[in-house]
Structure 1
Amino acid sequence: MPSIDTGVCDAQTRRFNEEAAKLGDNVVVLTVSVDLPMAQARWCGAAGVDKVVMLSDYKTNSFGEAYGVLIKELALDMRSIFVIDANDTIQYVEYLSEMTEHPNYEKALEAVKAIS
C-alpha cells in the first residue's frame, strides 16, 4: 500500500486486522508500505492494530520492485493484494489502478479461506 496515514490504507489495514483475528494461527497478514517503521508502529499503537504485521519498503523498495507494484516516479507501492499459500505460491492477486480504491476484501478473504 502507498502510506498508512491515508484514508484507504488506514481503512484497509483496520479491516484486515479485524479479519485476521478470525482466520486462525496458520494465516499471517502482512501490510507493506513505504512508511518508516517508526511511523508504522506509531499508527498501529494509536489504531490498536495488533494482528497485522507491518513491513516497511521505505529504504530499498525491494518489495515493490519484486512484486511489480513500485511506482518509481512517486517512490510508492501501488495498492495491491497478494494471497500466498504455505508453499510460497501466489494464489490470488488484485492490483488497483487508483490509490483511492478499496480492494475487494471479500474475494481476498475467500482466497485465504480456500487455502487455509
Structure 2
Amino acid sequence: MHGKRLWAWRSQDHLEISMRDIQCRDQAVQKLDLALHGNAVDWDAASNMVYYNARNVDTFYAIDKGTGRVLWSVGRLGTMPTKAFGHPHNVHSLGGTRFLLFDNEHRCSVST
C-alpha cells in the first residue's frame, strides 16, 4: 500500500478547542493547530476505533474510524474529565476499556 492514503482525519474539523484551553504556552504552542498536534495514534482493528492523543490539552480521544466522529474522550478536556496525567503520549488500546499511555507528569499553571 505504499503511497496510498488509507484514512485521514483532521483534529481541527472535530475538536472544539480554543487557546484558553492550552495551559502551557511555550514556543512549541503559538498557534491552535500546533496545540491540537497529536503525538500518538492507535487503531484497534477489532472495534474499528482510532485513539488519538493531543498532548498539549492532556486528552485522548476515541474516534469511530468509519464516521470520523469522536465518541468519547479522557483527560483534562474530555467527556470523562480527569487531571490524572500531564502531556501524555503513546496511547495504546489494550482492549475493552483498558489503555496504556505514558504520562510525562508535566504540570504547569495557566499562562496568558
Same fold (TM over 0.5): no
From the two aligned structures, give the one with the greater helix fraction.
1
**Looking at CA atoms only, which structure, 1 or 2, has the larger radius of gyration?**
2
From the two aligned structures, give the one with the greater strand fraction.
2
* TM-score, scaled relative to structure 1: 0.31
* TM-score, scaled relative to structure 2: 0.32
